[in-house]
A and B are shown apart, each in its own frame.
Chain A
């Protein structure tokens, strides 16, 4: 496996303070390697979006980061903790090193400014030395890259279709050639054909430009198709992490199995759709022990009392994957 570009260490993110506080992301350890697509899946409320916004410090109030580190390894120079950056340093880090493609394709663009303005103001903030002409040329280049005619530069967001807007967002995300692109449900608002078209294009761009991707979605089938590795979140924790193929073929955690059982397979033999009984846990009253145990078909004695650690399981492919489940007690903890 190649060197890491982003290491999340015991990240804890919550909402609110004091008695009202809710812990949405708990002790998450995750490593993104250079050039890979890391999928992050889970039901709504599992904390996957909170994780993405938390690690960039974009979570709106009452969100707070209560602990952990986010170590970023720049292409050149020493690694640093993103959470320790000053506001000014963080502004430089944002978009320059890590760009985000957001959930709401429709609302991500400022309705009162032209596409060109919104593309070039990034350059104005990060590359003050660039001339206006150079900025415009760069913006035009990015639009071309994502397949939008340069004459749409002067269009306003409301004049573009949903798919085009999301392409503009992708072009905007790549304009500073970041190392990491976080995609938060980038295509949920689009139809299936458009989804695949845009994701296909993105993967192609990744191969050409060499950035890494954290791809967040509740749609595990998309992840299986488009990512190298997949991490599954439940109740604010990562419960399993493995290469995409391993998750698809033999996931170890009962929750991953449940998620896979709730959508039809794209390739391979037909399976019966099962779904997961029960509903996601309330973050205010998390069950003791493994938070999945009340819904788990295979729960047994230790599950309700002890939180399983995320670690390498004892399976033959153990070194390449990790799981937090008492069925597969960790032989070597991660993080």
Chain B
């Protein structure tokens, strides 16, 4: 559904850094964690995600109604009693939405974890060991990559019949690790050629130690970004499965709401409150996760960071834009900026003393 937008794979570190400012390199390592959070996109995404996690935890307690409880208020628009209106059976949409959050988040994170573990195992092993192992594992992940994942998941879950959340998460996790494995393999390959890895191999470190202590810390960002990407995919897949009615209809998630809304002609009845909030919830969760991923992307490849201010006022009041190929000229007065001193103000004799000594 969503195209993985992470560009980490495509950024080869250490190329074409011509004429970059050569300063500011030291002290960078220290504050990395803070920098990531201070990235506006990542921070926004994290806050939004935190709200979702909170709702997933407290949802069932704060929900005003039992999501299955029927009432006589059929297809009612939002009101004080029912903030997001009711369904054809008089169920409270807001409660369904709140309670559904938990299932969505659980499946997303569980599937993301499975896929991440698999992708690390397969991708890093392939990249690190190389040779026949690499060929075999790469072929395997490429096969999984080109086989359309969602139809495969649909086929499997429908064969399983009324699958529970954990089983759905398992199926999604087992079928969606390939993209990350591919990215990780490429990253591992490029890391493996670096000096520090060579050095620790030369000193006789065990393979697993090299992988865990030398490679993994450098792959954190890539792994994190892959995890987030899979969570997005898993959430969308779960909702899709529920929407087309493949999965167990006893647990609520946002897809289930949409399934009933679609099945009961919510559209024809103009019951917008029935299908709009659930879709918005999905889209906002997806946006939150994408924002976190953009943050990681910019963190990993500084070229994507916005350069801060891009418009500058020159001394004579014109506005110029920073752009590649035409460095802005703020002023072309030939006056010097600093005041170098041609002759020492006083006490010049000292000079001679130093020179002769």
Residues of A within 8 A of B (CB): 9-10, 12-13, 15-18, 20, 22-24, 26-27, 44-45, 49-50, 53-54, 57-69, 81, 83-84, 87, 90, 102-104, 107, 282-284, 298, 300-302, 306-311, 324, 326-327, 329-330, 333, 335
Contacts and interface: CB of A to CB of B under 8 A. Distances in A.
16 contacts: A17-B308, A18-B309, A24-B23, A45-B22, A53-B19, A57-B329, A58-B327, A61-B322, A61-B324, A66-B330, A67-B334, A83-B329, A103-B18, A282-B23, A300-B350, A307-B338
Contacts of B326: 57, 87, 90
Chain A contact residues, majority secondary structure: mixed
A45 B336 CA distance: 21
Given A22-B21, A308-B341, A333-B342, A62 B334 contact: no
Contact of B334 (A9, A302, A324, A330): A9
Contact of A301 (B312, B331, B350): B350
Interface residues of B, number: 44
B332 A69 contact: yes
Contacts of A309: 340-342
Interface of B: 15-16, 18-24, 307-310, 312, 322-345, 347-348, 350-351, 354-355
Contacts of A282: 23
B337 A26 contact: yes
Given A10-B337, A104-B16, A307-B339, A61 B307 contact: yes
A83 B332 contact: yes
Contacts of A61: 307, 310, 322-324
A59 B327 contact: yes
B328 to A, nearest CB: 5
Contacts of B355: 298, 327
Contacts of A329: 342-344, 348, 351
Contacts, number: 150
Given A53-B19, A333-B342, A66 B337 contact: yes
Nearest to A103: B18
Contacts of A17: 308-309, 312
A22 B324 CA distance: 18
Contacts of A60: 19-20, 324-325, 327
A330 B307 CA distance: 41
Given A282-B23, A306-B340, 9 more contacts: A49-B19, A67-B332, A67-B335, A83-B329, A87-B326, A102-B18, A107-B15, A107-B16, A327-B354
A112 to B, nearest CB: 15
Nearest 8 pairs of A and B residues by beta carbon? A309-B340, A61-B322, A300-B354, A59-B327, A45-B22, A307-B340, A15-B21, A57-B327
B341 A307 contact: yes
B323 A27 contact: no
A84 B318 CA distance: 13
Nearest to B350: A301
A324 B342 CA distance: 9
Nearest to B348: A329
Given A45-B22, A306-B341, A58 B334 contact: no
